Structure 1
Amino acid sequence: MTVEALKALINKLIETKENEIQELKGLLQALEETPKEVVEQSDAQFLTRKDKLYARILKQDNKLIIMPIESLGIKVKDPAIIHFLQPKILDRMQKKHGIRYRLESKDGKTLRAIVIEGEGYDENRLLDACAWSLEKAANRQ
C-alpha cells in the first residue's frame, strides 16, 4: 500500500471517529435536556385472587369503589353477588357498621361498580369477599 493510500485511509478513519464522537455528544446532550421522570401517584389499587385481576379499587375519603374489569362481564344478578356478597357481607356490614352501599350497573345487567360509603368495617374482609364473588361470577361467563 502506498503512503498516499495509507494517509487517505487514516483520514477516513479519523473522519468516521469524529462523526461517532459528534453523535455521542448529541446523545449526551439529549439525555441532559430530557426532563426527569414524572412519577404519577394513583389512588387506584387492584383486586386480585389467585393471581388473576378482577377489579380496580378507588378510595376517596370514606368511600370505597370497586370497579370490576369490564371484559369479565360480571352480571349484577349473578348468584355470587345476590346470594352471597349482598346478603351475607354488604347487608350485614350495613346493619353492624352503618355503611351505605350500592351496586351500579352499566346497562341494567352488567356490574359497573360496588360503592361502599362509611367507616369502621374490616376492609380486608370486604375485599376478600368481593374477590371471591367476582371470581365465581367471572367463571360463569
Structure 2
Amino acid sequence: MASSADVKLDKNTSEDQWKQVLSTEEYRILRQKGTEPAGSGLYNKHKEEGTYRCAGCQTPLYTSETKFDSGCGWPAFYAEIPGAVDRHVDNAFGMRRVEITCSNCGGHLGHVFENEGFPTPTDQRHCVNSKSVKFEGGK
C-alpha cells in the first residue's frame, strides 16, 4: 500500500490508484459503498477531542464537538464541517436514504437521517463508517 500523503487524492483519482493507497476494507467501504458491521468500528464509542478526516484523502469532515452517542452501532455526528460532505439520494435496497460522501474525493461515508428526535441542534444523524474516517487528536 502506498502512502496517500505522496499523491493528491480527489474525485479524479483512478480506481487503480485508490487500490494502491487504501486497505482492502477501506476500498470496499469508501469506493464500493460498503458498510462495516454495526458495533464493529473503531470510532463507534470514541470520545477524544479532535477531527475526523476522510480515510481516503484526509479532508477534515467532522469534529468531536458534533459527535454523539446515537446507539445505532456506528459513529454518529449531527453536523459536518461546512462544505466537507456531499449528499445524494440512495434508493438501494428498496428504501430511500441520503448517502453522504466526501466532497473532495467522493468517498462513501455512510448515510444521513433526519427528524429522528435526537436532542441535537440539527436533529440529524450522520451515520458514518469508522473505516471511512481517520481520527486526529487535538482541536
TM-score of the pair, normalised by structure 2 = 0.28
Identify the structure with the greater strand proportion.
Answer: 2
Whichever of the two has the greater Rg, that structure is 1
